[in-house]
Structure 1
Amino acid sequence: MDTPPESTGSDRATVEATETFVAHRRLLFTVAYEMLGSAADADDVLQETWLRWVEVDAAHVDDPRAYLVRITTRQALNRLRSMKRRREEYVGSWLPEPLVTTPDVAADVELAESVSMALMLVLETLTPTERAVYVLREAFGIGYDEIAAAVGKTSAAVHQIAHRARRHVEARRPRRTVTARQAEAAVEAFRRALETRDLQGMLDVLAPDVVAISDGGGIKQATPRPIMSADKVARFIVGGLTKNGVALSVEPTTVNGSAALALHVDGQLDGVIAMCVEDTRITGLYYVRNPHKLSHIESETPLTLR
């Protein structure tokens, strides 16, 4: 029997680097996703992070987790800045890419809120650097010095950016005033109203000032602008999804840590509706129809803040 060749130091280093990367992959993906709002782009960022990580001499790294977060943040920032023009040229309203999440995400209130569609939309109004600082500080609790190293700013500057971003987000973010069970009840009431074409039942669960945003990406039909008010939203949803005698089925799911619905028309996935519930009524409807954003709907995506 031939004796297998001994592994070289380089091989061992690659194996160790791989093990370290895999151990933190869920965290790194969550960081990239919260910064970008796109799972596809987050996957690309992780690939870029990996390529840079395997070139690092681990002997000079005191904290692999912090180092990997730093690489991921820099790569996500680069991508976020390059995505600005792509977002400006996007056809119609833009919504984050929805993720079907594991039960532990919904159970973790802090995590569920940080990846909620409503908050992700608010984060879109920040500059790339503000978003990176806000996400790293508020969601992941990373220290100012570490954030400064990741975004290429001084610690004092990061303090100012964090304060500005926090004030901006707090003025715009929805207030979570219901339990997960109450939110699920509101979504279930909406589902029943949709399946039975019950306009009044839908009006009963929608807040008077509800806002509905649909994202077709120029591929599927969607409203070019948000629809506001319960009456307009209810008529749009019931009328738009029941016209031409289509066979509609609505399945409960969990998207970005919250109760949501997957809609199938004539047996094919048409889109996902995520919702924001406040005071037991739905204040936000986010209907993602762009097929390029539905690739993470077939299986659960694990996320973590730690």
Structure 2
Amino acid sequence: MRAITITEDHRLQLSDIPEPVPADGEILVDVVATGVNRADLAQTAGHYPPPPGASEIPGLEVSGRRRDTGEEVVALLAGGGYAEVVAVPEAQVLPAPSALDLHDAAGLIEVAATVVSNLVIEADLRPGGRTDNPWPRLQGEPAPGPQTLLVHGGTGGIGSFAIQFAHALGARALTTVGSDDAVRTAQELGADLAWNRHTTDVPAAVGEAGGADVILDVVGGPTLRDNVGMLREHGRLVVIGTIGGPRGELDLGALMGRRARVIGTTLRSRPVAEKHLIVQLTRELVWPMLEDGSVRLPVQARLPLADAEKAHQILKDGGHLGKVILDVRD
């Protein structure tokens, strides 16, 4: 089969390699297309190796057809997506949503599962605010109501989806972006407020907007102190990336004073059983949103598999809207 492999000097090359052999509990999927994610760039650069036992081929999500039944599916992977065939645990496979073209659906499951697992499971973002607090409301504490989400990088793959998802849940969505044009794009996606991070004092702007109950951050260390400062009481900061670096300064006094939490998560290395629960919840929440049009999947570019280097360069350059897709089959 054709696949993209990583060379010793961290380049991507089209290679001819044997098809994978499925292990117990796995099925083969004939890949139609694969989504490109920043994790793929980090792996290519040698900074994000796959979990033990996973394929060394990059690619965390695909669309295609089950070889055993022919059903059109999407699959969440720990690696191996940049190839004509993948072996994947059946528990991580879902029927492809009918609302999307099968090629475009390749860019859905990793971003949707990331958003659902982090906003709903980890940060407890839900319609009407948090309802699971067993303690009586303290005097002066605001009544439960719609929560406010702050997303950094609101026009990227994760950000563009998170804004729409939060809006569909009834939450208030704030975001930072990299240009004035991106501000308008984020507002079209459903952001209630959006700021150009290069020309705005973001902590001050978020403070004027009332702060955030949940912050979804892909930048990492450099934004840690400001993020904690922008949280409301009982706020949750969910860190899912370290584009800006892995280390930052944490103001423990501010964290404690807000009774807030900092949560760090990854999706790729989770056990199959956890991924199964996440993809099932993703289907339950997101597929209806796709059907009624409250959420869409912006696609910046679709390129042939052989142009994987060009696809990575689009993400490196930044300024794109949504996902980049590699077409594996016509």
Please indicate, yes or no, whether the TM-score normalized by the shorter chain is above 0.5. Answer: no
Q: Of the two, which has the highest radius of gyration?
A: 1
Higher helix share: 1
Higher strand share: 2
TM-score, with structure 2 as normaliser:
0.24
